[in-house]
Structure 1
């Protein structure tokens, strides 16, 4: 080829880069590279139709897949052929990287490397590579604790974007991650999609069990939301959990309802192929006592507390008229209480309420009744399968806040607590759980007085240091320097444990101490910060603060009939009395569900005090409502979004 021709090798190398150099090494060099670009007039003679004379047509044909009989090929043909080769090489390079990421994940090596590869391959131009990369991408996010990125990936993706061979494993990983973060509806979106794609023929027992575990934790409102526009198989599953919740403990009615369900949904698996928990639930008898003995403080200084619980129990018993309640004063001796229970021919006992009364009764050798104690269990007591413990545990709230902070990916929260026994107990529990889950301690402060509170805010926000620097600069400048105070930027949330009065002082202190240019600092509190008696001015001061509270004390629109009736009859009841009323109401509702929850711990009862499950050592654990002050009122947050 004449040297005056356009240097083809140089133009190809420039266009496609060194990535194709090994490929083009097999090609006979078509022209020498020139350091000097062709004259301006020359390119007119080099067109896409100008013939390029090749020295070895057979060799060129082998690489470019051209006709070996052709004595010459056009520049356009060569360019297209080289482009195809470069694309093939680039695709193979991406496949090799994908294989490397998968190998690293399998061997648990170099997690940062697998993350870098899979994160970049998500934008691959090749659809098949993007599909095959979805599983290692999610795995890499989770291994590297990139939880926000994992949530975003799952929120913006569909199961059809995952390679078919990976869909079951991807769904299991995604659903477990979302379930652990209490994002039940998001987890069910993936589980329903996999169930529909797999059908009965490809049903996976592990995935179906996880699907059922998520379903039985849904509240009635969440089930109703999911049922709207649900596809046929998802609707059948939702109908099945409705049956389980409605007829749990009623063996004959449950079996009949399940048979009816099978006839109405012939496309669903046979009952024998469903998760075992469903059929076990149908065959598990419930506590159905006709005569319930209730042991409460009905005299002395704590009489008001006992009467508040009693009131809730009586209200709940209207739902089960076949059950009679027999109230016994817990101030009596153990012998007198035993005699009263025997005399009334009691089938089931609820109470006592006070810890010391629980301790003196549960250890009696002749205590033979199945019992729901209204307080916590001593740590050294051996669990009895017929003894359960239901307390309005402050520790449950602290544990829930740790989970909430993890869901929101907070890394550096600050814990501030008033010096009272219950606040310090909650602070200690929060600290222990945070350290167990994250490996480091939470920065924490405590206070007694208003002045201590103000001082610690300036200390942990470091605004005092900022003010001191401004004053020092003013001193050296010889005049007042106008400068905004700056607060530290690394704190991402505050957990406050204080009473309502202390809380109303704290929030304005924070608002005026955080730099105007800094993002708002989220403040979280426990139910101990909530008061029904605060006026509109106080509510405005608390705007933006989030807290945990039992559903009974979070305003609902429209009001529950029970709530409206209660407010009409007992308008002056304080928070303590209302909490105990809700506790008494839930205690009665739990009696018929304890055996089912014992058999299947994932099962929740959504009561007035919270979402209740049976945890370790027969303790009832509570999940409270997350609510936020705003627009002059306290409003429950959407549990699905939890924001």
Structure 2
């Protein structure tokens, strides 16, 4: 009986002893999964004070249940991670879902987090010399943010070039996204173009690579020039069509391909200006052709210049120029006291000035573009570039998710320029051109056949980019409507004549296109038809405004002009962003 009673008390005795043992033992902290090992997110590590740095500290993680739980973190490792958390850290790409909306990949550090390493140019050069390109790229990138422009962009471009040479295209693009292309000038912009061309070449896009490469090689450093020519030659070997008038034809070996180490930068120096700005613009000389086919165009441009310059209290003097006397007339204008020169419009005259940069002592705003040669510090380029509009349409449509395109342009040099600009930007933004048709400039009887061909080859397209004159657009747009129904059609301002003619333009209804502010305002207030060539008048008016506002543009300010929103781009070129419009009952109507 007694032993049976004791057996019944055993469970109670055991529980009592366990309770006493638990009460005498210190409780262990509950460590969250996120705090185990090295997996704690960097943004969860608190910043230590100097007083805390001398001893191990207790910090808090987050328990899955929602409770705050302490964990022990040693100071040296903590400081290392805290410093690393302050730096942008792009490195190797990890796998992400195919439908991920993130534009920058998830990145992991190339330098171990247990070692305190201050990113520097010297360290990047050492890693590059050891053949550790991935680690060198990471260090270059992280060190870039200690420097001011343009050194910062140059160092990021070095990181991007290394990533591209490793075939890390996604990582290369993540680096390049940190650089606004419009902020680049000179060799930095040429290096940016080279890297974009290298990516295109790796994707077997030979013609795209050739189109992206910088054209003027003379201003480039020997190392970059060699690499540009190497990519060009490889693109031609892949079947790309060589660009005419491209300087430099020799072959180069692959020894020119890897990036050279960057020169160490001891302190972040101030960027030396490459822009010579006018001190005043009250005495304006205008260089324009006054005879031949450009005479009427010049007269309309000059009217716009005169009216704006007079409204600002300035004076203008007109000089008649051609390719034969462009430099002499410029020098005469300077001798006459001009403090700013506008013109010429003629491309041959512009080429003459570019061949004599040392003679351009007074700032000059030309009225055309030449992309073959780097602009000297005193020369700026402005015009009604169709490329600006094509690129704007490409950016707009890809942003809207319309990434399967049919392109229809006339079989002409102008049509090729338009198509090349659209396709280059469209593809760089993730778009795909699935049908490209060059229709004849004059034989309208074949337009139906060309529309049918474009649509047959472009099954699955969700947009059409149309390059056309007003007459061509009035014929092609109804054919597209009849054959393709609701397929959106986008175009540049060239589809509208600049004169309000609703009866003729009703066939353009629904077309989305780029248009300058002056035209849309003129339609609204009924003054459009008072101008013979409204876009040329607007160009002249904006030329006078730009000449007076070059200092503001040089400070990256954007101006609102009659031809669009204006900013200073690479190579001292003036870039425009136009309004969007559509046709309703034959009348251009703003969309914004």
Residue 530 (structure 2) pairs with residue 571 (structure 1): yes
- How far residue 556 of structure 1 moved from its aligned partner, in angstroms, is 5.5
Aligned ranges for residues 132-151 of structure 1 at < 5 Å? 140-142=101-103
Q: Give the 3 Å change call, closer, same or farther, for CA 287–422 of structure 1 in structure 2.
A: farther
Residue 549 (structure 2) pairs with residue 593 (structure 1): yes
Residue 286 (structure 2) pairs with residue 327 (structure 1): no
Aligned to 2:470: 500
Aligned ranges for residues 235-384 of structure 1 at < 5 Å? 287-321=279-313, 323-331=314-322, 333-334=325-326, 336-338=328-330, 340-364=332-356, 365-380=358-373, 382-384=374-376
Residue 384 (structure 2) pairs with residue 425 (structure 1): no
CA contact (8 A) 1:347 1:369 kept: yes
Q: Distance in 2 between matches of 1:338 and 1:532?
A: 33
Q: Give the 3 Å change call, closer, same or farther, for CA 335–583 of structure 1 in structure 2.
A: closer
- How far residue 407 of structure 1 moved from its aligned partner, in angstroms, is 1.4
| Offset from partner CA, 1:580-633 (integer Å, 9 cap, x none) | 2111100110112212222x33x2111011111100010001111111112442
TM-score by length of 2: 0.52
Q: Give the 3 Å change call, closer, same or farther, for CA 108–361 of structure 1 in structure 2.
A: closer
Equivalent position SS for 1:318: helix
Pairing partner for 1:530 from 486, 493, 496: 496
- How far residue 489 of structure 1 moved from its aligned partner, in angstroms, is 6.1
CA contact (8 A) 1:295 1:329 kept: yes
CA contact (8 A) 1:395 1:429 kept: yes
Q: Distance in 2 between matches of 1:444 and 1:351?
A: 36
Q: Distance in 1 between matches of 2:390 and 2:98?
A: 37
Pairing partner for 1:616 from 556, 570, 586: 570
Aligned to 1:581: 537
- How far residue 429 of structure 1 moved from its aligned partner, in angstroms, is 1.9
| Offset from partner CA, 1:183-230 (integer Å, 9 cap, x none) | xxxxxxxxxxxxxxxxxxxxxxxxxxx9xx9xxxxxxxxxxxxxxxxx
Q: Distance in 2 between matches of 1:410 and 1:294?
A: 44
CA contact (8 A) 1:359 1:378 kept: no
| Offset from partner CA, 1:450-508 (integer Å, 9 cap, x none) | 33321132233349xxxxxxxxxxxxxxxxxxxxxxxx862100000011111111121
Q: Give the 3 Å change call, closer, same or farther, for CA 113–546 of structure 1 in structure 2.
A: closer
Q: Distance in 2 between matches of 1:286 and 1:373?
A: 14
Equivalent position SS for 2:403: coil
Equivalent position SS for 1:554: helix
Aligned structure 1 segments of 4 or more residues deviating by more than 3 angstroms: 89-92, 105-108, 140-145, 284-287, 439-442, 532-535, 555-559
- How far residue 438 of structure 1 moved from its aligned partner, in angstroms, is 2.6
Q: Distance in 2 between matches of 1:586 and 1:317?
A: 10
CA contact (8 A) 2:287 2:318 kept: yes
Equivalent position SS for 1:583: helix
Q: Distance in 1 between matches of 2:459 and 2:567?
A: 39
Q: Distance in 1 between matches of 2:473 and 2:371?
A: 32
CA contact (8 A) 2:340 2:362 kept: yes
Equivalent position SS for 2:423: helix
Equivalent position SS for 2:429: helix
Equivalent position SS for 1:495: strand
- How far residue 439 of structure 1 moved from its aligned partner, in angstroms, is 7.3
In structure 2, stretches of 5+ residues that fail to align are 1-10, 16-62, 67-89, 107-179, 184-275
Aligned to 1:548: 514
CA contact (8 A) 1:527 1:549 kept: yes
Q: Give the 3 Å change call, closer, same or farther, for CA 556–324 of structure 1 in structure 2.
A: closer
Equivalent position SS for 1:302: helix
Aligned to 2:95: 110
CA contact (8 A) 1:328 1:340 kept: no
Equivalent position SS for 1:461: helix
- How far residue 402 of structure 1 moved from its aligned partner, in angstroms, is 1.0
Q: Distance in 1 between matches of 2:522 and 2:297?
A: 25
Aligned Cα RMSD in Å? 3.9
CA contact (8 A) 1:326 1:344 kept: no
Q: Distance in 2 between matches of 1:340 and 1:106?
A: 57
Q: Distance in 1 between matches of 2:405 and 2:65?
A: 45
Pairing partner for 1:453 from 447, 453, 460: 447
CA contact (8 A) 2:405 2:432 kept: no
Equivalent position SS for 1:446: strand
Kindly name which structure, 1 or 2, has the bigger radius of gyration based on alpha carbons.
Answer: 1
Q: Distance in 2 between matches of 1:350 and 1:386?
A: 12
Q: Give the 3 Å change call, closer, same or farther, for CA 531–325 of structure 1 in structure 2.
A: same
Q: Distance in 1 between matches of 2:504 and 2:330?
A: 50
- How far residue 90 of structure 1 moved from its aligned partner, in angstroms, is 9.8
Aligned to 1:413: 405
| Offset from partner CA, 1:119-147 (integer Å, 9 cap, x none) | xxxxxxxxxxxxxxxxxxxxx544599xx
Aligned to 1:438: 430
Q: Give the 3 Å change call, closer, same or farther, for CA 91–634 of structure 1 in structure 2.
A: farther
CA contact (8 A) 2:558 2:566 kept: yes
- How far residue 107 of structure 1 moved from its aligned partner, in angstroms, is 7.5
CA contact (8 A) 1:370 1:387 kept: yes
CA contact (8 A) 2:408 2:454 kept: no
Q: Give the 3 Å change call, closer, same or farther, for CA 287–626 of structure 1 in structure 2.
A: farther
- How far residue 363 of structure 1 moved from its aligned partner, in angstroms, is 2.7
In structure 1, stretches of 5+ residues that fail to align are 1-54, 60-88, 93-104, 116-139, 146-209, 214-283, 464-487, 639-643
TM-score by length of 1: 0.48
Pairing partner for 2:483 from 496, 504, 513: 513
CA contact (8 A) 1:610 1:622 kept: yes
- How far residue 299 of structure 1 moved from its aligned partner, in angstroms, is 2.8
Q: Give the 3 Å change call, closer, same or farther, for CA 317–455 of structure 1 in structure 2.
A: same
Equivalent position SS for 2:530: coil
Q: Distance in 2 between matches of 1:335 and 1:107?
A: 53
CA contact (8 A) 1:286 1:593 kept: no
More helix by proportion, 1 or 2? 1
